[in-house]
Homo-oligomer: A and B are copies of this chain.
Amino acid sequence: MKKIKIQVPATVANLVCGFDILGMAIHEPYDEMELKLLDSPEIIIRHTDHFGLPEEPSKNVAGVVLLNIQQHLKLTTGFEVIIHKHIKPGSGLGSSAASAAGAALGANILLGNILSDEEMVHFAMYGEELASGVRHADNIAPCIYGGITLVKSSSPIDIIPLNTPDLFVTAVHPQVEVKTSDARQILKKNILLKDAVEQWGNIAGLVAGILKNDIPLMGRSLNDVLIEPVRSILIPQFNEIKTKSLQAGALGGGISGSGPSIFMLAEKKETAESIARLMKSAYNEIDIESFVYVSKINPSGIKIIKEDE
């Protein structure tokens, strides 16, 4: 009976200015998933974590992805999945995307690599739809492709893998709740053309910086004039952490996805670690528990740890 074990990384969507189009895989935190092909057509999901996520396949992010794969490919086989989740749901670090992308990529390996990358993204988006009501790929894409990805369009799926700058990422997850739906509703539906022009100047600069490996250009481009000023209100200590991180030498950073996690990029490990300390103490000051992660940008996304025939 074929089975595999995979490591599925957290991801940072938006990358400051690239709202809804850019995403980046990191190394820490990550989920582990064990997937097994079953002779019978049933789908079994088990969580070893204590986040209380539903295990009924049609209500589980990984389950719904597998149900769709099974149905679309008219499989007579099923899947058993054990999820060891370490990326906390609601953190803004791509927890649902990890389960969704892990299910799609894991199933594809068990089935003998019959799906293209775009097809894996297509199926994984059913998981995002279940989790947030929106078929979006900005966290799924970096899970599957690795590095930094551009979702030029999610319908039709058009994903451009960019590059993996040699940078450290510090991410902090304060234990406050920001619902993705609230973070989306708070945004203005109408924006000024002149602000949009400034935003796409930064987006173009960021994409050019990533592809030319021009670190200072990346830094100059990490500015969000549209989303961050609105959403950061929902995140305690955001301004303090951002200001102090830049003073400590961060290249730039902002809200991870729709928050509440905050991420910062840095060239040196020592800088990333000093940012981790200042993040931690900013939340200690106001008695909010937080989890801090330091790792590099992850060039390969989901990693196969073990594969048995």
Tell me the smallest distance from the CB of A210 to a CB of chain B, in Å: 9
The docked-state distance in angstroms from the alpha carbon of A194 to that of B155 is: 14
Cβ-based interface call for A277 (8 A): no
With A190-B190, A190-B191, A200-B199 given, is the CB distance from A205 to B19 under 8 Å?
no
Q: Is the CB of B204 within 8 A of A21?
A: yes
Tell me the smallest distance from the CB of A219 to a CB of chain B, in Å: 12
Q: Is the CB of A202 within 8 A of B152?
A: yes
Q: How many residues of A contact B (CB 8 A)?
A: 38
**A222-237 with Cβ < 8 A to chain B:** 226
Q: Is the CB of B152 within 8 A of A197?
A: no
Query: What residues of B have a CB within 8 angstroms of the CB of A198 in the complex?
Result: 153
Q: Is the CB of A193 within 8 A of B191?
A: yes
CB < 8 Å neighbour of A201 from B151, B202, B211: B151
Query: What residues of B have a CB within 8 angstroms of the CB of A18 in the complex?
Result: 200, 204
Query: What residues of B have a CB within 8 angstroms of the CB of A151 in the complex?
Result: 201
Cβ-based interface call for A160 (8 A): yes
Tell me the smallest distance from the CB of A252 to a CB of chain B, in Å: 14
> Which of A18, A191, A193 counts the most chain B CB atoms within 10 A?
A193
Q: Is the CB of A220 within 8 A of B189?
A: no
Cβ-based interface call for A217 (8 A): yes
Contact with B along A130-166 (1 / 0, CB 8 A): 0000000000000000000011110000101010000
Query: What residues of B have a CB within 8 angstroms of the CB of A207 in the complex?
Result: 204, 207-208, 211
CB < 8 Å neighbour of A197 from B21, B158, B160, B220: B21
The docked-state distance in angstroms from the alpha carbon of A295 to that of B279 is: 55
Q: Is the CB of A203 within 8 A of B205?
A: no
Q: Is the CB of B191 within 8 A of A152?
A: no
With A160-B217, A191-B191 given, is the CB distance from A152 to B196 under 8 Å?
no
Query: What residues of B have a CB within 8 angstroms of the CB of A162 in the complex?
Result: 208
Closest 6 pairs between A and B when the two form their complex, measured CB to CB: A152-B205, A211-B211, A196-B196, A200-B200, A207-B207, A190-B190
Interface residues of A (CB under 8 A from B): 18-22, 150-153, 158, 160, 162, 187-194, 196-205, 207-208, 211-212, 217, 220-221, 226
Contact sample, A vs B, 24 pairs, CB 8 Å cutoff:
A18-B200, A19-B197, A20-B201, A21-B200, A150-B204, A150-B205, A151-B201, A152-B204, A152-B220, A160-B205, A160-B208, A160-B217, A188-B193, A189-B193, A189-B194, A191-B196, A196-B226, A200-B200, A200-B203, A204-B207, A207-B207, A207-B208, A207-B211, A211-B211
